[in-house]
Every structure is written in structure tokens, then in C-alpha cells.
């Protein structure tokens, strides 16, 4: 099993959206960075655990834990001309962008970005590096264990 951190804007898809319907898989759509796409395509597996991270909001941070519920498949938003995520260079025969589905595991105690930055145990974590803009990053097992403890996740 691998561990991940996936960023989402809570106005678009937040942890409470998953809490409202915990049995329904949610597609992690809109990823438009090749490295993040490649993580989904090449490394993510069903069952991997993910820190659900709220970004681009008043207080960014870890809001819960989800599980990868599918292998990567074409992101339908790339073909929708009315979508913010439309990509005219992508075709159904040769899609450029992928997503995976996730399922809620737990809404947890919120861990703000600032608290993560101040925690010396989390030094070196990808999401905390200067200039990191990736919406999906791998999480080292030691960082995962520490964050799980901080947010009260026992799974």
C-alpha cells in the first residue's frame, strides 16, 4: 500500500461532500499536471490511503482520509467544452487526462497547513516544499503515521 495527499478546493469537492454520501465513489477530476496524472496512472492502486487536503481556501490543511477506489481512467471533463477542465487537444481515442475514484474513510480532526509547517517531524514532506503546486503527492510512511496520529486516525 502507498500513501498519498490529494488537494481539492472545498468549494468544488470538500470532505463534507463525501460525508454526505459516503458509499458513493467520487471521481478525482480536473488534474491537469502531467506528474500528478502519472502518479494516478502508474503508481496509485485500489486500496491506497489518501490524506484529503483542502486547498485554495481560507485555511488549507488535511480534512480527512479517503481510499483509492478505482484504477485510473479517462477524466470526462476533458471532453466537455463547457467545463473549466476542457482540453481541446484531448480525444476519447487518445485521452490526455485521467482520474481515480475515492471513497470516504473518515472525516478527521483538521490539521492546518501552518501546523504541518511548524512540525519538525514533517520536514521534507512534498506538500510543504517551496513552490510545490502538485495536487497529488506521495506521502512517506513515517509522515503518514505521524499525521494519522495528529488527526486521530486509527485506520
| Tens of pLDDT, residues 31-56 | 999 999 999 999 999 999 999 999 99
- 91 pLDDT band (50/70/90 cuts)? very high
Residue with cell 495527499: 5
CA atoms within 13 A on the CB side of 114: 2
> What residue segments make up the domains of the chain, in order of their start?
3-151
Does residue 87 register a pLDDT over 90?
Answer: yes
CATH label, 3-151, candidates 3.40.50.720, 3.10.20.30, 3.30.420.40, 3.10.590.10:
3.10.590.10
| Predicted pLDDT at 90 | 97
Nearest to 40, CA basis, from 98, 96, 125, 92: 98
| Terminal-residue alpha carbon distance, the chain | 13
Longest CA span, the chain: 47
Nearest to 151, CA basis, from 61, 47, 68: 61
Does residue 132 register a pLDDT over 90?
Answer: no
Mean pLDDT of 4-26: 96
**Spatial CB neighbours of 92, under 8 Å, sequence gap ≥ 6:** 74, 79
Cα separation, 39 vs 133, in Å, equals 14
> Chain-wide mean pLDDT for the chain?
97
pLDDT 10s digits, 56-84: 999 999 999 999 999 999 999 999 999 99
Amino acid at each position: 500500500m502507498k500513501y498519498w495527499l490529494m488537494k481539492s478546493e472545498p468549494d468544488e469537492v470538500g470532505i463534507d461532500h463525501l460525508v454526505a454520501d459516503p458509499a458513493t465513489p467520487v471521481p478525482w477530476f480536473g488534474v491537469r499536471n502531467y506528474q500528478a496524472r502519472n502518479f494516478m496512472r502508474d503508481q496509485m492502486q485500489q486500496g491506497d490511503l489518501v490524506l484529503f487536503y483542502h486547498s485554495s481556501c481560507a485555511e488549507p490543511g488535511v480534512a480527512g482520509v479517503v481510499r483509492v477506489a478505482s484504477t485510473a481512467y479517462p477524466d470526462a471533463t476533458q471532453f466537455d467544452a463547457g467545463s473549466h477542465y476542457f482540453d481541446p487537444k484531448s480525444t476519447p481515442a487518445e485521452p490526455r487526462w485521467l482520474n481515480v475514484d475515492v471513497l470516504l474513510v473518515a472525516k478527521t480532526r483538521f490539521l492546518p497547513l501552518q501546523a504541518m509547517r511548524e512540525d519538525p517531524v514533517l520536514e521534507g514532506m512534498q506538500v510543504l516544499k517551496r513552490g510545490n503546486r502538485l495536487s497529488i503527492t506521495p506521502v512517506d510512511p513515517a509522515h503518514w503515521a505521524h499525521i494519522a496520529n495528529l488527526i486521530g486516525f486509527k485506520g
